[in-house]
Structure 1
Amino acid sequence: MKCVKHIVQNKSNAIYSVNPDTSVLDALQVMMDKNISALLVMEGPELMGIFTERDYARKIILVGKSSKETPIADVMTSRLETVDMKTSIDQCMQIMTTRHIRHLPVVEDAKVAGMISIGDLVKFVIEDQKQTIEQLQTYISS
C-alpha cells in the first residue's frame, strides 16, 4: 500500500514554521522567501495550527485587518487535520477533498515530521501510474 512515508522520504526534510506571536506580515515574508503557500504555527515542538494563503485572503484582506499588527495566532487555522507516515495516499486525498484543504501536516510520535500538499499527492500518483504503465508494457512485450 502506498502511504505518506513514500512521499515524505523523497521530499526535503525542511519544516517551515513560525510561532503564534509572529505577525502576519512576517509570516508572509517567510512564505515568499521559501516559495510556499502554507506555514506551520508551532510553539517549540508543539503544533498549534497552520497559516495558508487562503487564511490570509479570508481573515486579513477581506476583513480589513493589518498584516503588520495581527499575530498569526489570531488568524491561523487551529482545527488541524493531521496524518502519520502510515496514512494511505487514498486517505490523504479523501481528507483533502472532504475538508477542502490543500496541506496536511505529518505527525509521527507526537512530533511534526513534515507536510504534504495536494501537489505532492498528484505528483506521486502520476509517477506511480507511469511506473505501472511501464511495468505492464514490459510484461506485454516479453
Structure 2
Amino acid sequence: MTVRSILNTKGHQIMSVEPDAKLAAAVKLLGEKKIGAVLVMNQSRLEGILSERDIVRVLGERGASVLEEPVSQVMTRKVVTCKETDTVAELMEMMTSGKFRHLPVLDNGKVVGLISIGDIVKRRVQEYENEQEALRDYIKTA
C-alpha cells in the first residue's frame, strides 16, 4: 500500500495558512476543520508545518500572548516530507522515528497532499477488514 492509494481514497485537500497569519487564526482553522496540523505555505511553497503539539509547546513556554504572533514564529521549519510512491511501512517508520503524526506529500517539489497517522490507521483497518471478508468467503466456498 502506497501514499498514492491513501490520497486517492481520502482526497488531496490541503489546509494551509500563510507564514504571517496570526497563530490564533491557525488555531481556529484547526478547530473548525477538526485537524491536527496545517501546512504553512507562501504562495505554493511549503515553508513549514504547524501542529497541535507546536501550539501546546509554545503556549506552555510563552503564554496566551503568543496567539497574536505570526505562525512563522511557531511553526516547525524542518519539515519531513514523503512521496506518493512511499509505502505505508516507510511512513510509519518516519513518523515513529521522528515522533510526529503528519507528513506533507510532495510530487516534483509541489505539495499534493497531507497524510496523518489517522489516515494510515484507517487504511490499515480497512485492509484487515477486506482480508477477513475474503477469508470468510473462501471458507464458505471450500
**TM norm. shorter chain > 0.5:** yes
Matched, 1:128 2:127: yes
Aligned match of 2:21: 22
Aligned partners of 2:86, 2:11: CA distance in 1, in Å? 19
Aligned partners of 1:68, 1:81: CA distance in 2, in Å? 25
| Post-superposition offset of 1:62 | 2.9
| Post-superposition offset of 1:31 | 1.3
Q: How do 1:1-142 residues align onto structure 2 when only pairs under 5 Å count?
A: 2-64=1-63, 66-142=65-141
Aligned partners of 1:137, 1:58: CA distance in 2, in Å? 48
Aligned partners of 2:116, 2:67: CA distance in 1, in Å? 27
| Post-superposition offset of 1:59 | 1.6
- Are 2:12 and 2:114, in contact at CA under 8 Å, matched by a contact in 1? no
Aligned length: 141
Corresponding letter in the other structure for 1:138: D
| Post-superposition offset of 1:116 | 0.8
Corresponding letter in the other structure for 2:59: I
Cα 1:124–1:41 shift into 2, 3 Å: same
* RMSD of aligned alpha carbons: 1.3
Aligned partners of 1:52, 1:20: CA distance in 2, in Å? 14
| Post-superposition offset of 1:65 | 5.5
Aligned partners of 2:128, 2:48: CA distance in 1, in Å? 33
Deviations 1:104-130 (A, max 9, x none): 111112111110110110110010011
Aligned partners of 1:69, 1:131: CA distance in 2, in Å? 47
TM normalised by structure 1 equals 0.93
Write out the 4+ residue segments of structure 1 that deviate beyond 2 Å after TM superposition: 60-65
5+ unaligned residues in a row in structure 1: which ranges?
none
Corresponding letter in the other structure for 1:62: E
Aligned partners of 1:68, 1:89: CA distance in 2, in Å? 35
Aligned partners of 1:18, 1:127: CA distance in 2, in Å? 31
5+ unaligned residues in a row in structure 2: which ranges?
none
| Post-superposition offset of 1:75 | 0.8
